[in-house]
Amino acid sequence: MKVLAATNNAHKIREMEQILSQTGIELVTPKSIGLSLEVVEDGNTFEENARKKAQEFSQASGMVALADDSGLTVNCLGGAPGVYSARYGGEGVLDDAGRVQLLLKNMRGKEDRSAAFVCAIALVFTDGTSIEVKAECRGKIAEQPAGEGGFGYDPVFVPQGFDRTFSQLTAEEKNAISHRGKALEKLRDCIGGRL
């Protein structure tokens, strides 16, 4: 089954392709079908943003669309950066490394470093029906970045049960425990009969 990835984020597409490789879902990129679409992520929750992206990409392409909205929630920051994870510090102002540095600055002196990566996924079919799932990966924020892999906040996120950041894990290790991996696994279980 061909499914359109409702994102222009190459890192997310690569992770989703790796996780979905054994499912019978062939992920199609917007670029590969000549679709240029930017969706305004103005929802108050990860679920609202994922649903909106999947709906708009599906309507624009006439294809089944899969959207992911994910982010980091940090307890001592009241759940921030949350749905603003990719825009932390302002829209288009900081790159991944800049957002990580801002996060560490805002956490300076905080004893509670607990956090969670959250992922909401919406799969919207051409008839407008959808399947939505959500998952999280709990952990803590490291004192400083470590590792070369991953993207976003991966260099400072240490998942529960590990002493390494997401960036220090192999892609296979990360995908097996990550918020995105767990959410896509839930999705796979839900769609069984619709493939």
- The answer to whether 69 is a known catalytic residue is yes
Residue carrying structure tokens 């493939």: 195
Sequence letter at residue 70: S
Of the candidates 69, 95, 154, 189, the residue annotated as catalytic is 69
Of the candidates 146, 154, 156, the one whose C-alpha atom is nearest the C-alpha of residue 104 is 156
SS3 74: strand
Sequence letter at residue 95: D
| Pairing mode, strands 26-28 and 2-5 | parallel
Express the helix, strand and coil content of the chain in percent, nearest 5 each. Answer: 40, 25, 35
Of the candidates 173, 143, 174, the one whose C-alpha atom is nearest the C-alpha of residue 156 is 143
Cβ atoms 130, 122 nearer than 8 A: yes
User: Which residues does 162 contact at the CB level (< 8 Å), separation at least 6?
Assistant: 139, 169
Report how far residue 154's alpha carbon sits from residue 167's, in angstroms, rounded to the nearest whole number: 5
Residue carrying structure tokens 């079919």: 125
Catalytic residues: 69
